[in-house]
Structure 1
Amino acid sequence: MLDGKTIGFIGGGNMAEAIIKGLLAGGFSPAAIMVAEPTPFRREFLTSTYGVELHEENLDIARRADILLLAVKPQVAASVLAGLEQVISPDKLIISIMAGISTGFIEESFNNGARVVRVMPNTPALIQAAATAICPGRKATQQDLEIAREIFSRVGTVVTLAEKQMDAVTGLSGSGPGYVFAFIEALADAGVKNGLPRDVAAQLAVQTVVGSARMAAETGEHPALLREKVTSPGGTTIAGLHTLENGRFRGLIMDAVDSASQRSKELSGK
């Protein structure tokens, strides 16, 4: 579905770069990718690294791209959208990865029947291992959804949800890597506290999380069953789990997702 289409990125940050990498790895031509990025160093880096077309001004991209991918911070969404209004028409597909910004907000900003798909990826897109959710706006077609799915399937796993569920996605998988990195850091620090060299503790902590995640993904078993398999009666794991339970480990994780989801709602003005 992407054959013959051009994709324009408004914003050339890490997530835009990850998507570009995925597109190029999947055989998409760099000549069909354009990026608007205000920072000179970033423009130079992207064009020298990936061979894509770079511009300073958003309008230079928005006028020409068939698919416009909005990859800027949600705090500047209103000003960016206002600057694009004059060149957006219903025949242009708008894909937004702006956290917390609803399809309705974008549609109202353009007020011309714009076709919008909202997307929530996460940072493992940088290594083509993202968890991404997509949802359609009021005017988006099934083909628009399929185009968004094709783009983001090149950087990981994609699910389609209703927009009312997107704030929960932001709190879970959007912010989730931050929780996992904090957990890895804590595991490594604990190893150092108990006498391991820092590099060894870090290596073991990372591989423990990678291996455990792969087991969950590849076996398809419920995490509780996998946990039971490593928890022997009267053993070391149950002693550690008891400490986690006393500290409300699971409750704190759920609270973190709640807080991030609520912040997503605040960003969208809900």
Structure 2
Amino acid sequence: MGTALNCNICFIGGGNMAQALIGGLISRGLPATRITVSDPVEKVRQLLQEKDVQVMDDNIAAIQDANIVVLAVKPQVLGNILKSLKGLCDEKLIISIVAGAEISTISALIGTERVVRVMPNTPALVQTGAHGMYATAAVDAKDRELATQVLAATGLTLWVDSEAQIDAVTAVSGSGPAYFFYMMESMIRAGKNMGLDEKVATALTLQTALGAAQMAITSANSPAELRKNVTSPNGTTQAALEVFDRAQISQNIQTALAAAQKRSQELAQELSDSTK
């Protein structure tokens, strides 16, 4: 195999994240004819057919000519799906975006150790995702590059050093969009309480979030330094930040992410136990 754009890629599951990856890959030059999707839901298959990809509801037939198989199904159905594919994927690279599915669980069920585990996030739907990736030594450099190319079609890709760190990735970026949406909700509500029209409060909040993120991405300064640059002594920003500090917002955020990490670990264990 050469690059991912020269591979046949099969998606088991055609939901939102799979559709995001498919759209990204096609936009980067992968011919739609090289993509096959297996999904049991007819409406999903019909939607994907509009992208000119091959669709079917037979997982075994779908993976037959694939070089790369992307697992994009719900955790609760993963066990039965992988058991049906056992022994059929020895020559294929497996990329899993299934939440909580550890590599050892996938490998035991499908019969190959060429597995890359990915924790994506929903901004992949607009090509601004952040994907944490991990693989064991059974996945060589060429396979890692192929996996990177597949996920990079929808955003940032970062490899972590241990599978345990995927739980931290889940807490930071996997669940992360919801934290920012929560902050946006609160800011919009505050704007309305202070007399702004809802549309005005929403537009100001969303553009401010976009601008702050863009500044943090492009600036040589850290977010902490950028915050200090906006905070004039005894000014309006300081007044707001002092309220945050009194409420221990920073500490509470760290506690919340630790709770998300712990729940990610628990879900992985529950999935492992359920597939034995």
Shorter-normalised TM-score: what interval?
over 0.9
What is the number of equivalent residue pairs in this alignment?
Answer: 267
Amino acid at match of 1:59: I
Partner of residue 55, structure 1: 56
Amino acid at match of 2:175: S
SS of match in other structure, 2:80: helix
Is the 2:20–2:127 contact (alpha carbons within 8 Å) kept by the matching residues of 1?
A: yes
The correspondence of residues 158-173 of structure 1 with structure 2, limited to 5 A, is 158-162=157-161, 163-173=163-173
> Any gaps of 5 or more consecutive residues in structure 2?
271-276
Deviation by residue 1:179-238 (Cα, 9 ceiling, x = unmatched): 111111111111011110111111111011110011110003111111111111111111
Amino acid at match of 2:86: E
Partner of residue 269, structure 1: 269
Partner of residue 148, structure 1: 147
CA–CA separation in structure 1 for the residues paired with 2:15 and 2:247: 37
Partner of residue 47, structure 2: 45
Partner of residue 230, structure 1: 230
Q: CA deviation at 1:12?
A: 0.7
Q: CA deviation at 1:83?
A: 2.2
Deviation by residue 1:227-266 (Cα, 9 ceiling, x = unmatched): 1111111111111111112222112221221122111111
The correspondence of residues 1-12 of structure 1 with structure 2, limited to 5 A, is 1-12=3-14
Matched, 1:188 2:188: yes
Partner of residue 31, structure 2: 29
Deviation by residue 1:96-120 (Cα, 9 ceiling, x = unmatched): 0112211111111123x43111111
CA–CA separation in structure 2 for the residues paired with 1:141 and 1:57: 29
Is the 1:36–1:58 contact (alpha carbons within 8 Å) kept by the matching residues of 2?
A: yes
CA–CA separation in structure 1 for the residues paired with 2:64 and 2:251: 48
Is the 1:43–1:54 contact (alpha carbons within 8 Å) kept by the matching residues of 2?
A: yes
SS of match in other structure, 2:7: coil
CA–CA separation in structure 2 for the residues paired with 1:69 and 1:101: 13
With the length of structure 2 as denominator, give the TM-score of the two structures: 0.93
Partner of residue 136, structure 2: 137
CA–CA separation in structure 2 for the residues paired with 1:247 and 1:82: 50
Partner of residue 65, structure 1: 66
Partner of residue 273, structure 2: none
> Any gaps of 5 or more consecutive residues in structure 1?
none
Question: Percentage identity across aligned positions?
Answer: 40
Partner of residue 76, structure 2: 75
Matched, 1:120 2:122: no
Is the 2:6–2:30 contact (alpha carbons within 8 Å) kept by the matching residues of 1?
A: no
The correspondence of residues 72-111 of structure 1 with structure 2, limited to 5 A, is 72-89=73-90, 91-111=91-111
